[in-house]
């Protein structure tokens, strides 16, 4: 017996000639829907046999002054710095925090997790898990009819989704352009894992900046790591072997740059005289590498603070359905911090 295909909220919206947000408001019994529109949507829901998910059936909660945050990988520097900013700003704005940590970055069993947060009557959710592979497949169908605001961090901008992110592409351009300005021409790249959106953006910026400068970009000029120092050990050795004459390297994060330093020292490669190095992240320890590391500071603490400020604005402006707030995308700009690892002249 063939399986009947599930009716989606998009089909209901199309059939009723309304937006998915309007269908969501009808499903959640919100007051800001004209009576004739409500009747038309309800008739389409009945005729198509649409059965919303448990998330869509959740009723608007009373104001609890509690925010949910979903994160992963707190043993890593980036997520922990972001969570620190989230926690600090949450307290400053008079809210409390309910934390849920996913077992891995690419986990996508989201519905039970969000339902658990809704059961605790959170006023809004920060989704502080990086965009990796297909772990955002559920956004378009489910986010429009969530009964509370949800804010995403570190992901590619999408219509109808509220996002606070760092401009990783601009960071990659700053790093590569700086190396070009110092006179380096054979510039390699050690990327993070390329199923991560951030890693792809940084690599894309490196490649485009070289091409704009009239320099060739070949496959041998880049290798992939996984953000860890141990992965960069293998990656940098491979890069040295396959890209002879390498005179500079843009490393996808500061932790991987640490292995570049170790291998360069072991092989008698002087930094920056023989090899310019630029990292990414701006971790506090980068100032104490020897020589001190030039890096792109992306200020993940500020990222967390901004996400909470924007989420609270959405909650308090909408007043749980009395006024709809349009989703916004906020892109924070990174900063190039020039230290001793890249200039060919004393700074």
Convert the pLDDT of each residue in 145-167 to its tens digit: 778 899 999 888 888 889 999 99
User: How much is the pLDDT for 31?
Assistant: 64
Q: Report percent pLDDT > 70 for the chain.
A: 91
Residue 4 lies in a domain: no
Q: How confident is the model at residue 107 (pLDDT cuts 50, 70, 90)?
A: confident
Position with higher pLDDT, 95 vs 147: 95
Which residues form the domain of 29? 9-49
Residue 1 lies in a domain: no
| Residue 5 CB-half CA count within 13 A | 4
User: How much is the pLDDT for 135?
Assistant: 80
Most confident of 56-65, 147-156, 213-222: 213-222
Res 262 pLDDT > 90:
yes
Contact 329, 157 (CB under 8 A): yes
Q: Structure pTM?
A: 0.79
Res 224 pLDDT > 80:
yes
How many domains would you assign to the chain? 3
Cα 197 from chain centroid (whole Å): 7
Residue 181: which CATH number? 3.40.50.2300
Q: Are residues 162 and 305 in the same domain?
A: yes
Average pLDDT estimate for 244-253: 97
Question: 339: helix, coil or strand?
Answer: coil
Task: Provide the token pair at 112.
Answer: 């039970």
Q: Are residues 207 and 191 in the same domain?
A: yes
User: Phi, psi at residue 73, to the nearest 5°?
Assistant: 65, 40
Q: How confident is the model at residue 94 (pLDDT cuts 50, 70, 90)?
A: confident
Residue 203 lies in a domain: yes
Q: How confident is the model at residue 59 (pLDDT cuts 50, 70, 90)?
A: very low
């Amino acid at each position: 017996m063939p399986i009947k295909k599930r009716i989606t909220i998009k089909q209901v919206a199309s059939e009723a000639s309304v937006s998915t947000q309007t269908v969501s408001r009808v499903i959640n019994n919100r007051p800001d829907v004209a009576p004739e529109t409500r009747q038309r949507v309800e008739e389409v829901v009945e005729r198509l046999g649409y059965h919303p998910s448990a998330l869509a059936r959740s009723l608007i909660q009373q104001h609890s002054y509690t925010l949910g945050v979903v994160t992963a990988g707190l043993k890593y520097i980036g997520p922990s710095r972001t969570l620190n900013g989230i926690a600090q700003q949450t307290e400053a704005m008079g809210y409390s925090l309910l934390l849920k940590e996913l077992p891995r970055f690419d986990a996508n069993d989201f519905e039970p997790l969000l339902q658990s947060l809704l059961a605790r009557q959170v006023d809004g959710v920060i989704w502080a898990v990086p965009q990796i592979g297909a772990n955002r497949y559920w956004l378009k169908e489910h986010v429009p009819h969530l009964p509370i605001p949800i804010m995403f961090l570190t992901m590619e901008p999408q219509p109808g989704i509220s996002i606070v992110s760092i401009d990783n592409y601009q960071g990659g351009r700053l790093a590569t352009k700086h190396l070009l300005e110092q006179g380096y021409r054979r510039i390699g790249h050690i990327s993070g894992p390329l199923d991560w959106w951030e890693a792809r953006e940084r690599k894309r910026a490196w490649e485009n900046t070289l091409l704009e400068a009239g320099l060739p970009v070949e496959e041998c000029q880049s290798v992939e790591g996984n953000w860890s120092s141990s992965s960069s050990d293998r990656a940098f050795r491979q890069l040295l072997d396959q890209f002879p004459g390498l005179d500079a390297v843009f490393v996808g994060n500061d932790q991987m740059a640490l292995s570049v330093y170790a291998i360069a020292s072991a092989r008698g490669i002087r930094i920056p005289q023989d090899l310019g190095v630029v990292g990414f992240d701006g971790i506090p320890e980068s100032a104490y590498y020897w020589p001190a590391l030039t890096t792109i500071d992306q200020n993940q603490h500020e990222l967390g603070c901004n996400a909470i400020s924007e989420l609270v604005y959405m909650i308090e402006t909408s007043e749980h359905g009395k006024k709809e707030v349009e989703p916004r995308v906020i892109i924070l700009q990174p900063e190039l911090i020039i230290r001793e690892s890249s200039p060919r002249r004393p700074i």
